[in-house]
Structure 1
Amino acid sequence: MTRTRSDQASKIPVPYVIAYSGELDTSPIKFVRSPIGGLRLSYEHPHEGDWRYGALCARSGQSREGRPQWRKLNTRRQWDCMENLLCQVCGNPAQDRATGRVPWIVTDAVFRRVGATGGLASAPPTCLSCIPVALSLCPHLHVSPAIYMVGNSRPASVLADMYTPDAEGRAYFTGEHNVELPLWGSTNLPFAFAHQLVMFISEMTPMNVTQ
């Protein structure tokens, strides 16, 4: 069952990953002492699961109420699509049952090549059924899109806003937005307010863009 919704004003299908104005979470954040020592960013009233891969993950509501925020992604749904390989348009499993591989639309804005058959993708996969509507309606996909069938994927990094503490532990935005931090080997994850998960995708086989 598709989870795509329509913008009533324009009748344009709203992709599953798009944020809505009624989902904004403005819970205050601060720095606290981490269980292993040192400081880390935290919500003032922490919940289980706030931290993912060592970084504080931005909360987001799931009501899908209000107006679509076309330039913003819902953090929780974006991560859900990445980790569970769900289609960013309809929210259903993106894996092709016939081949076991996952269709992925990439552009220069959301993909960086790493090696001959892999790279880093900040946009989730798109199932075969939703590829035509995505290519026709999304303006970001009108500039040199490429479609691949992907054989393997794993979490690699996060895109985050960076914060620094004062003497009282209050959190101050450094002005650094959408900083990419690797999930392993980075000492900056405790200072990160993560909004998007980035996947390393590999075993990429090109598809015809008209399919």
Structure 2
Amino acid sequence: MTGPAAAGTAPRKPYVTPYAEESLDLPLAFEWADGTPRLTYRDALPQERMFGTLWARCGTAREGKIQWHLVHTQRQRRCMLKRLCRVCGGPATDPDTGRVWWIVPASLAGDFRSPWPTAHPPTCKAHMAEALTACPYLRREAPIVCTVGDYSPVGVLANLYGEDDGGRVVETRHQIPVGLEESHLLHRALATQLIVRIEDLQPAQG
């Protein structure tokens, strides 16, 4: 989510950014469920499936080299579901208004009255300045600090898989958005990030 800190300062360890030691092998396989082939793990656990799809495994050690260009699947999803800050992992909801603090790329915001989807988690007020300074994606997108009245899950970013002629599981599409209503795609998807639809977007005052 962010890049390395300036020379002479210690880099922050942003909550949604993974570490090299958190990369895990993914023993993917297909199983039959209700007459349909469905992506799974050979040693799958019930909690690894949510919103009708399989989710990428990640470690939780937070050790090793920081992978600045990647997103930790479980922590990104947790931020979205629990309204947590992507920088510190603490609450991103304003205690006075109940609204959620969010950094919005101007190119995506458009009409503030229209809901729109995003895979970027909220950012608490205390870490707005840090995120705006450090995150290359936000710097490119002319960010706007906003608050959000509500939001809800609408899809996932995912890799799609199939089987080759030898029965081996192979990736067929990489990091595409899949709606939660697209069950024919969710069955063969490995979700990496949760997409939510933001409602009641307002520019922050002051």
Q: TM-score, normalised by structure 2?
A: 0.89
Alignment map for 1:148-187 (pairs within 5 Å): 148-166=146-164, 169-174=167-172, 176-187=173-184
How big is each residue's C-alpha offset from its partner over 1:151-191, in whole Å with a ceiling of 9 and x where there is no partner?
011001000111112467531111x2111000014421101
CA distance in 2, matches of 1:205, 1:129: 18
Partner of 1:136: 133
User: 1:126 pairs with 117, 123, 127, which one?
Assistant: 123
> Gaps spanning 5+ residues in structure 2: where?
none
Match of 1:3 in 2: none
Question: CA separation of 1:202/1:39 partners in 2, compared to 1, >3 Å: closer, same or farther?
Answer: same
Aligned match for 2:67, one of 66, 69, 83: 69
**Residues 1:44 and 1:168: Cα distance change in structure 2 (over 3 Å):** farther
CA contact (8 A) 2:52 2:183 kept: no
Q: How many residues align?
A: 200
Contact 2:103–2:122 (Cα < 8 Å) also in 1: yes
Q: Quote the residue 2:43 is aligned against.
A: 45
Backbone CA RMSD of aligned residues: 2.2
Deviation at 1:108, TM superposition (A): 6.2
Give the whole-Å Cα distance in 1 for the aligned partners of 2:113 and 2:165: 47
- For 1:103, the equivalent position in structure 2 comes to 101
Change (3 A) 1:115 1:104: closer
- TM-score in terms of structure 1 length: 0.87
- The whole-number CA distance in structure 1 between the counterparts of 2:128 and 2:48 is 32
The amino acid that maps onto 1:17 is: V
Instruction: For 1:155, give the aligned amino acid.
Output: P
User: How far did 1:107 drift?
Assistant: 1.9
Question: Percentage identity across aligned positions?
Answer: 36
SS in 1 for 2:62: coil
Residue 13 of structure 1: SS of its match in structure 2? Answer: coil
The answer to whether residue 159 in structure 2 is matched with residue 192 in structure 1 is: no
